[in-house]
Amino acid sequence: MQDQRISFWTTPILAFCLSLLLSVTLAPALGLVDYQQYDFWLFWVFSMLILALPFTILEIALAKRAQSTPLQAFVKLTREADRSTRWRLIGWASVVFVPFLAGGILEFAAQHVDTQFALPFSHSILLLICAVIAVALSLLPRMILFIALFVATLAVLIIGVLSNTVHTWQWTPFELKEWAKVVTLTLVTGGLGLGLYWQNAVNAVKTEQKALPVVLPIWLAQVLGLGAFIFVSNVHSDLHAVVLLIAALILAGIFLQYIREQFLERQTSIVIQAIILLLPILVWAIPQATSTFYSIVIIFGLLLCFAHAVFAGWLMKISHLRKSINFSSEASYNIWRVLIRIIVPLSIILAVIGWIMALTGV
């Protein structure tokens, strides 16, 4: 029972911290540094309702249905849906992507520390040191990591707000490229499609008859984390850079701990564990490759969300998810199903097209 209560409250904390830190990390790649545009943020609020909320319901429903972490769960889910084992690659893609994402967060924070302090060694060496520290932190008890992460993230937020300068807000024409930014901010920087909320909520859903009591705190935490990003979209000082690096190290340690837990449940060999946990982080030390890697983070994150939506919306049996979500009315379930089957995939497709246009200069 204690584990279930801890799981219930730590998942929103993870959602808040992950959303804020990841949005700050991807802000330059998304072109959202000091982005004070009314139209963009209004569409973001709308997307949190039609994209983030139904997708969070999806993740928690899958957790409730499978009663296990994502990597192991897709074995059960594909078997129940009588689908090809290829769909289990969604789970494997997530466990590879999460360490890669951790590497990106560490790279961004380390880059700002390097810039602020002009360290006497190369940025690649600093990133390797950060990777070693993150691995060491992943061995600490989870509750200690969550408390430290929450405190460090609050420090990032407070220092960012106090250092923030006033910018003029304005209305601008809304284009497809803007929609790509909206969807990416909502889904990818919101931490959806990674399976982390799913994994952390596995214990909490065991005692809940409905998914919404678990979903709403997570979703509200995402709203707060991404909303706070408006005031903390840039790193302003030495202290801000140091605190951001501390928060990034702790979050990366939590990421690695979660993925290692999935490997243990799946009984994966230690060699494969080491390769998947470390290699995606270490590749960020390659010089002159970070801009390409951030583009990969954006596109791959969107495709992961797309794969989850297609699998749950089109391939799983209707009765399985209906029972797991347990909405109070059939109409609510039908609305959710339309959003997951049509609106979410279509929004992601348009976002990918928008990013391709942006990357190719169209």
- Widest Cα–Cα separation across the chain: 63
CA distance linking residue 286 with residue 263, whole number of Å: 27
User: Any idea how long the chain is?
Assistant: 362
Cα separation, 273 vs 256, whole angstroms? 10
Angular region, 67: left φ>0, alpha ψ -120 to 50, beta rest: left
Q: Show pLDDT as tens, one digit a residue, over the chain (362 residues).
A: 445 556 678 999 999 999 999 999 999 999 888 778 889 999 999 999 999 999 999 999 999 999 899 999 999 999 998 899 999 999 999 999 999 999 999 999 999 999 888 888 888 999 999 999 999 999 999 999 999 999 999 999 999 988 877 677 888 888 899 999 999 999 999 999 999 999 998 887 877 778 888 999 999 999 999 999 988 878 878 999 999 999 999 999 999 999 999 999 999 999 999 999 999 999 999 988 999 999 999 999 999 999 999 999 999 987 778 888 888 888 999 999 999 999 999 999 999 999 999 888 76
Domains of the chain plus CATH, in order, are 2-360 (1.20.1740)
Alpha helices in 118-168 (DSSP H): 123-137, 142-163
Residue 234 contacts residue 162 (beta carbons within 8 Å) = no
| Cα dihedral 199, 200, 204, 210 in deg (nearest 10) | -60
Q: Decide: 355 and 303 in contact? Cβ < 8 Å.
A: no
Nearest to 130 by CA among 157, 150, 102: 102
* Separation between Cα atoms, residue 259 and residue 218, nearest integer Å: 20
Q: Hey, what are 308's tokens?
A: 């989850």
Q: What is the DSSP letter of 231?
A: G
